[in-house]
């Protein structure tokens, strides 16, 4: 057996430009280039470079994210067009959840999970729990009462399902807090993330969901996004979509 060795260097930036943040992350990932094989024995994957990241996005970057289908889809620096970005955004809709739930187990187009399903139908002993509605309700009460809280969050991990899954969720937690009665900040915690093909479009999809389901109904705006990844990586010789790892 070959000796195992892995080093994930931390990297933090604050940016007001989404494409520039992505470029800085790519540059840092390639600086830490060292092949690593991970996953499982049936489906091993090879990384070129890997970092542990924290990115604080603010100002113009928030507008770029919320208009990400056009901003990313029409930027020549990105390989993927508007349809690719919109595909991610569409995954955070009830229509998409319904389509996924209607597919039989084993269907080639059925995912083992979707984030929006986990947010809307998190399983409980008696049924399911809508984390989106709870988050919106609690934030609304905080605004009405004029009090801050650190309790407003949603999770995706279901231990009895995901602990032994070959494809568990990458996004683990979404935390939202009030900056003032009209402004929200959010933190996204990821355990694993494809830097080249998914980092930026993931941001666009999650932020647009929060804007639609949380911020707009509360007459608020998103002013800061803190995005953290335990393993943000570049795959060896590929730019393919590999977001569920």
Helix (H, G, I), strand (E, B) or coil at 112: coil
Question: 0.85 exceeded by the pTM?
Answer: yes
C-alpha dist (Å) from residue 212 to 49, 89, 141, 186: 34, 11, 18, 14
Res 25: pLDDT: 95
Task: Assign domain 9-38+47-103+110-121+128-235 one CATH number from 3.30.572.10, 3.30.70.1520, 1.10.390.10, 3.40.50.20.
Answer: 3.30.572.10
Mean pLDDT, residues 200-222 = 97
> What is the rounded distance in angstroms from the CA atom of residue 86 to the CA atom of residue 201?
9
Hey, what are 208's tokens?
Answer: 């647009």
Strands (E) located in 16-103: 33-38, 45-58
Query: Tens digit of pLDDT for each residue in 203-213?
Result: 999 999 999 99
Query: Tens digit of pLDDT for each residue in 51-102?
Result: 999 999 999 999 999 999 999 988 887 877 899 999 999 999 999 999 999 9
> What is the rounded distance in angstroms from the CA atom of residue 111 to the CA atom of residue 100?
7
Going by C-alpha positions, the residue among 150, 133, 130 that lies closest to residue 142 is 150
Q: How confident is the model at residue 49 (pLDDT cuts 50, 70, 90)?
A: confident
Ranges of each domain in the chain: 9-38+47-103+110-121+128-235
Query: Tens digit of pLDDT for each residue in 156-198?
Result: 999 999 999 988 999 999 999 999 999 999 999 999 999 988 9
Res 7: pLDDT: 78
Report whether 64 contacts 207 (CB < 8 A): no
């Amino acid at each position: 057996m070959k000796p195992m060795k892995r080093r994930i260097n931390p990297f933090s930036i604050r940016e007001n430009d989404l494409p520039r943040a992505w470029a800085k992350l790519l540059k840092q990932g390639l600086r830490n280039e060292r092949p690593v094989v991970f996953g499982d024995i049936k489906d091993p994957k090879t990384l070129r470079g890997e970092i542990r990241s924290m990115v604080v996005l603010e100002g113009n970057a928030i507008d770029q994210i919320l208009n990400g289908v056009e901003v990313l889809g029409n930027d020549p620096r990105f390989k993927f067009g508007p349809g690719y970005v919109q595909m991610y955004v569409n995954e955070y809709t009830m229509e998409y959840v319904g389509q996924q739930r209607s597919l039989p187990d084993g269907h080639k187009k059925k995912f083992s999970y979707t984030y929006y399903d986990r947010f809307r139908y998190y399983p409980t002993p008696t049924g399911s729990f809508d984390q989106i509605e709870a988050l919106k309700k609690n934030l609304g009460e905080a605004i009405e009462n004029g009090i801050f809280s650190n309790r407003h969050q949603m999770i995706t991990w279901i231990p009895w399902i995901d602990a032994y899954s070959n494809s568990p969720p990458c996004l683990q937690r979404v935390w939202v807090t009030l900056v003032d009665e009209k402004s929200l900040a959010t933190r996204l915690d990821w355990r694993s993330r494809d830097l080249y093909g998914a980092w930026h479009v993931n941001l666009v999809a999650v932020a647009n969901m929060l804007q639609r389901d949380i911020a707009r109904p509360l007459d608020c705006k998103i002013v800061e996004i803190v995005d953290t990844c335990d393993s943000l990586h570049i795959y060896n010789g590929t730019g393919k979509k590999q977001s569920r790892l």
